[in-house]
Every structure is written in C-alpha cells, then in structure tokens.
Amino acid sequence: MGSSGGRPHEPVLLAEVLVQLAGAGVPAALRAEAGAVVRFLDATVGAGGHAAAILDRTAPLGRLLGLDRDPAALEVARRQLGRFGERLVLARANFARCDSVAGEHGFGALDGALFDLGLSSIQLADDARGFSFRSGGPLDMRADPDLGTTAADLVNTSPVDELRRMFRELGDEPEAARIASAIVRRRAREPFATADELGRFVAGVKTRRPRSIDPATQVFQALRMAVNGELDNLARGLEGAVRLLRPGGRLAVISFHSLEDRTVKQFFVRESRDCICPPHLPTCVCGHRAGLRVITRRPLTAEADEVARNPRARSARLRIAEKLS
C-alpha cells in the first residue's frame, strides 16, 4: 500500500498471509506442486507488496488479479509489479464488484483472495486527499476521486443527528453528541475546508484525550468510512470473493479496527453455519448451508519484531476461512 515519509512500504502480516494462502499443505500449494495454474485475487493491491510475494511464492504458474479503486495506487502497483508480466492483471475497480471484474478477466475458481483493509500510505502521504488530520489539504477523503460526496460535504451539510450517529456507529466515538453539536454551531459561522482545521477543532472540543491516538482519529475514521461506503462495500466484496473461490480456496482479510474486524468475524461465523434462523424458531426455514470453514478462531496478529519495524502492524488482525466443497 505505498510508501510514506521516504521509507519503503512493508506489507503487514506478510509471512502469515503467505503461509495461510500458499504455504506447505495448503490446497493452493498442493495444486501448484501438481503443476496446476493457481489464481489469486488481491482486492486491495495498493503498492503491491502482498501481490509480489504471492506471485514470487507461486512462480512460475501462479497468476494474480489486483484491484484498486484509487488510480494513484494502481499506478504505483503497475510500476512495482511490472516484472511479473502476463502473470499479473491489474484493474481499477471497487472490490465490491470483485466477482464481476474477475469474470471479465478470466479469473474464476480462485485459489485465494486477500483483502487488506488498511488505509493506503499512498493516500495518507498526499495532502491533497485530506485523509490525515495533520494535512493542510482539502477535507476530501475519497478513495476513488470519481465519487461525488466528500468529507467536507458531510461535515458541512449533514444534520446534527446524522453526524452523531456517524461518529458513534462508524467511529466508536464516546463524545459523538458533543462533537456533532459543536460542528453544527461552528459551521453556521464558517464551513470547514481543510483536514487539519477539522482535526484541531475536534481536539479542542473533546473533554477526554485518548493516550495512544490523536483525539480526532475516531471522527476521521467515521467520515472516511461514510464517504467511501466501506462497510457496505466490505460485505459485498466478501460475498463476491466466496463465490469466486474454488473448493479449498482461502479468503484472507486484514482489518485495522474493531468495526471492520467484527464485520469480518460475523460474516465468517454466519457462512460457516448450516442454519442461520433466529434461535426461537423450532425448525430451520432458511435453507442456508455452510460455505466456509473458519481457519482462524482468533485473529492472527503481528509479532513484536514486526511491530517494531512497522508500527502500522500493531492494530492489524488477520482472519482466514476456507471454502467448502
């Protein structure tokens, strides 16, 4: 997912992803050893760190489809991954459409699919994108520049109740009501224009300052998720990826905050059960059949040495599931 501050980007939980998607004894590795072409999806290719490692691990027959909705990230991926030639296909697309895009490029019956839900360092490093509360750029936060609504639009026009709900539900912000009311009062005098302006304002409004994160972190998370429709896209993307997987194919998802991780966990639990009827019903009427086997009952996390090298890995959580026949 890019580089920032002059340091080369290090993809998080890389060793764990490789072991789970293409390690010894994993169905994809067994198929590759038998001489079969193996196919993977990187739904958030970014700068291509995970994609390059997967293609190296599965050479010479492994192929990979890399998706990204951000044209700037996709351009970085093209430069970084050019050495893989025809083994790699890149496409600009929202991963919510991964199943249809994969079909367009001949990537059916996948052996593995990876979603890295972290914010791209390519985006964080670009002040014009407005993702960082330290950015003096416009309050934008669109992962796809073709989207219509910006974070400034939401902050400056949303009703106070909508802002409160957004900050509470998408940001787990304990002072959501206080912040929403203060924003509405302030914007009546002067609308918010830049990311750092909003960040300073939120920090000044909050009565409790968290120790480990910037005071504006949860508000910015909520705005970013709302602007980009992240939870809806995630739900659709996970469903599409499962449809694409062959029996034995694996789905790997790296999340970075509790709301994402909870969404992934609940999806895995639901899709690993035969019946998802409400508990009060005496017999099953849903007709649902388990499509996944959960590999990681608890999410995998980064070891201390990785966190020391790459602080971004501290909050990363990796969950894996395998498609049933």
Parallel, antiparallel, or unpaired for β 317-323 and 245-255?
Answer: antiparallel
Does 111 lie in the same domain as 36? yes
Other beta carbons within 10 angstroms of residue 91's beta carbon come to 17
pLDDT of residue 154: 98
Task: Note whether residue 243 is domain-resident.
Answer: yes
pLDDT of residue 127: 78
CATH value at residue 218: 1.10.150.170
Please tell me the total count of domains within the chain: 2
Does 189 lie in the same domain as 314? no
What is the total residue count of the chain? 325
The one-digit pLDDT tens for each residue of the chain (325 residues) are 433 334 456 899 999 999 999 998 899 999 999 999 999 999 999 999 999 999 999 999 999 999 999 999 999 999 999 999 999 999 999 999 999 999 999 998 999 999 999 887 777 777 778 787 777 889 999 999 999 999 999 999 999 999 999 999 999 999 999 999 999 999 999 999 999 999 999 999 999 877 778 899 999 999 999 999 999 999 999 999 999 999 999 999 999 999 999 999 999 999 999 988 888 888 888 888 999 999 999 999 999 999 999 998 999 999 999 999 8
Task: Note whether residue 313 is domain-resident.
Answer: yes
Does 198 lie in the same domain as 103? no
Task: Note whether residue 5 is domain-resident.
Answer: no
The sign one gets for the Cα dihedral 29, 34, 40, 46 is positive
Does 224 lie in the same domain as 236? no
Structure tokens at 137: 């750029």
Concatenating the DSSP letter of every residue in 202-219 gives: HHHH-SS--SSS-TTHHH
Find the domain containing 173 and state its range: 132-228
Structure tokens at 28: 């994809």
Give the whole-angstrom CA distance, residue 41 versus residue 270: 22
Give the whole-angstrom CA distance, residue 148 versus residue 279: 42
> Which of 209, 228, 247 is where one domain is finished?
228
What 3-state class would DSSP assign to 275? Answer: coil
pLDDT of residue 96: 98
Task: Note whether residue 1 is domain-resident.
Answer: no
Single-letter amino acid code for the residue at 172: D
pLDDT of residue 9: 67
Concatenating the DSSP letter of every residue in 72-128 gives: HHHHHHHHHHGGGGGGEEEEE--GGGHHHHHHHTT--SEEEEEEE-SPPHHHHH-GG
Does 106 lie in the same domain as 73? yes
- For 322, the enclosing helix (H) or strand (E) is strand 317-323
